[in-house]
Structure 1
Amino acid sequence: MTPLLRGLVVALAAGGAILGQAGCSNPTRPSPPPPTPALTLACPSAVVVGAAPEVPAPVTYPAPIPSGGTAPVSVKCSVPSGGAFAAGDTDVVCTATDSATPPHQASCVFTVSVRQEFTVEASRFLAFGDSITAGAVEYNDSVASILEIERDKAYPTVLRDLLAQRYPRQDISVLNAGYQGEPAGCALGASFCGASRISRVIDESRPHALLLLQGVIDLSEGGLSSVSQMLDGLKFMVRDARRRGVTHIFISTLLPQKPGSRAWAMDAIVPANARIRDLAASEGVYLVDAYAGMVGQEAIFIGKDGLHPTPEGYQALARIFFEAIRDRLETVVTTPGGVQRTLDVSAAGPHVEVGPQFRRPPVRLR
């Protein structure tokens, strides 16, 4: 190697050492940005609205909270906050959508429950009548017709349970004043009938409402010729109850019958019921059309003797009376002043319950 070439190699080596000491080595690449967190959506807890003044009810609920995803993120719900909710439970489905390409979505579900609270204008009921009111149960599967009074299956007992379930804040009572074998009107010279008994029963029980189902014994004894006796007895009982301060009077048509050992008045039932409907209209009392509600289902509702209901029949009869009472005497518990308001629960805690007194957290009504 020539002296010139050897000098050049030494110079290059020295330059490299200097560069290395100066930190001019190859630079490293920067770290990539962290990944975008997955999009999630948190819905509010269940919302319960008690004593809504009317339905559908407008309800304002806390906004669902999105996290993650690419901003901005939009949220839409199947029923918006402040929207109208029907009575019962409504599942609200909310979906968050971010701005990624393509966009990501996340969903959640919560329930809004709207309850209505009801009250009934009467709390003491008097069920007056014969063995059908007393609870004489007849079965279809027995070999012989064995008629027994079963108070737990009687329509007044079943009716009391229905009323208590519907109006839990009220002390509901239904007195069973059924008397087996008793006609509505007294035959000439007789004193055994509903018309002669009702005054004492009303004075002793002081009911708010009278439930009157009687007259089939009159027809069983005299057929069509006894319709006038039946009507006279029913009219006397209606007017006597009114004189004695009974506010609400319900009178029922007679039940349908089917062939059997005690179906002695099948031909008289329809014309007698037409007269009972006329009586209810003329006297201005509430009609309970038990015949219309049970006819065509005698095989299920009427027992082997053709006259007395089965347990299923008593359930149906109680339901018919219940619906008549509900339709005539029920009112909805409303907010003070009776003005419809937006139920705002948007600032409440994780489980929201809105309604009248003793509800927590408090509600802002606007």
Structure 2
Amino acid sequence: MRRVLPAACAALTLAACGGGSSAPSTPTQPTTPTATPLALTCPAPVALRTTTGQPVTLTYVTPQATGGTAPVSVSCTPASGSAVPVGSGSVSCTATDARAQTTSCSFGVTVAIAPTLSVERFLSLGDSFTFGTTSRVDRVIPGDTYTQKLEFLLRERYPDQPFTLTNAGVPGQFMDQIEDRYPAALRQSNAQVLILQGGANDLNTEGARSITDIVTRLERITRDAQGRRVSVILATLTPQRPGSTKGTTSPADIRTINARILDLCRRYQTGCADLYTAFGGEQSPLIGTDGLHPTPAGYDLIAETYFEVIRRLFERTAGVLPLS
């Protein structure tokens, strides 16, 4: 006999109304997401400088790991904050996630000995050339005087060092006046290096007969400075343009006194800035319209000439050594 189900069960399953059994349903298992591969990205190489050759502190941002199964830990060797010596090497970093998966990266570290000078205090003693008198505008290196331009070059090359460069130039002065001012200027500047140039006004006034007196005074100042353990840089006179308003010294007299200044450089083993040769002779375009004073571009060249002498005499060797 067919069984009749209650009306209330008409819309339900037979099992739900007690009308028989059916196969149990299988529970749905949650899908396990696929983990993203563990990755680690290191920072860019680090370049450090030291002026003493001693180890410096290495600091960097810890690399960020991506992917993997949290939590993820990152460790680096050497650690940020470590002292590292002069040389080149690398930092190695490793990331480890909760499933013990690992990945690594590394970045370079270089510690260089920055170029420095063994001296920091300079005195420039002289006349209008030291003072900075110009005759037309044609500036390239920042600064109105060769001393300002020279200081710019020093700070550009040796940014880790402080410098003082005292300008003791007085326009129109003769060598006897420069010699008279020398002791006080040296004392007030406490200079380690004396840049000495003068004699053009003597030559333009008295001609060849002043040459011996100029050289004698340059020699006395040089000898005294060296006796005080002050290094000296002597400079030849720049060319003058014959027939101009202020360039009245004969080319032969300029060549004669410069030969004697170069001889002083050799005998006293001073630094020597051969400005005459650097300018290239009497028709140099770096001499201004008055025939005597350099253009600002000429002062650029004077600064560059002194700079190369200073670099050759006093620069400590810079470089990178292998890490021990």
TM-score, normalised to structure 1's length?
Answer: 0.56
Of the three residues 129, 136, 140, the one matched with 2:133 is 136
CA RMSD of aligned residues (A): 2.9
**Residues 35-74 of structure 1: matches in 2 within 5 Å?**
46-51=44-49
What's 1:206 paired with?
A: 190
Q: Runs of 4+ in structure 1 displaced over 4 angstroms?
A: 43-46, 48-53, 110-116, 296-299
Of the three residues 304, 308, 315, the one matched with 1:323 is 308
The reply to whether residue 249 of structure 1 matches residue 246 of structure 2 is no
Q: 1:296 to 1:45 in 2, by over 3 A?
A: farther
Tell me the SS of whatever aligns to 1:307. Answer: coil
**Residues 1-366 of structure 1: matches in 2 within 5 Å?**
46-51=44-49, 117-139=114-136, 152-184=143-175, 186=176, 193-246=177-230, 248-259=231-242, 260-267=244-251, 268-296=253-281, 298-333=283-318, 340-341=321-322, 365-366=323-324
CA deviation after TM superposition for structure 1 residue 239, in Å: 1.6
Cα separation, 2, equivalents of 1:299 and 1:112: 48
TM-score, normalised to structure 2's length?
Answer: 0.63
Structure 1: give runs of 5+ residues left out of the alignment: 1-42, 54-109, 142-150, 187-192, 342-364
Cα separation, 2, equivalents of 1:321 and 1:165: 15
Percent of aligned pairs with the same amino acid? 33
Tell me if the contact between 1:203 and 1:244 (Cα under 8 Å) persists in the aligned partners: no
Cα separation, 2, equivalents of 1:272 and 1:301: 20
Cα separation, 2, equivalents of 1:311 and 1:152: 9
Cα separation, 2, equivalents of 1:114 and 1:317: 34
Tell me the SS of whatever aligns to 1:230. Answer: helix
Structure 2: give runs of 5+ residues left out of the alignment: 1-40, 52-106
Q: 1:140 to 1:304 in 2, by over 3 A?
A: farther
What's 2:64 paired with?
A: none
Q: Deviations over 1:225-260 (max 9, x none)?
A: 1110110110111122223342x1100111112231
Cα separation, 1, equivalents of 2:46 and 2:276: 40
Return the letter of the residue paired with 2:130. T
Cα separation, 2, equivalents of 1:274 and 1:249: 18
What's 1:33 paired with?
A: none
Cα separation, 2, equivalents of 1:114 and 1:306: 50
Q: Deviations over 1:117-174 (max 9, x none)?
A: 1000111100000000000111289xxxxxxxxx941100110111011111111111
Tell me if the contact between 2:112 and 2:319 (Cα under 8 Å) persists in the aligned partners: no
- Equivalent pairs counted in the alignment come to 225
Q: 1:116 to 1:302 in 2, by over 3 A?
A: farther
Q: 1:298 to 1:315 in 2, by over 3 A?
A: farther
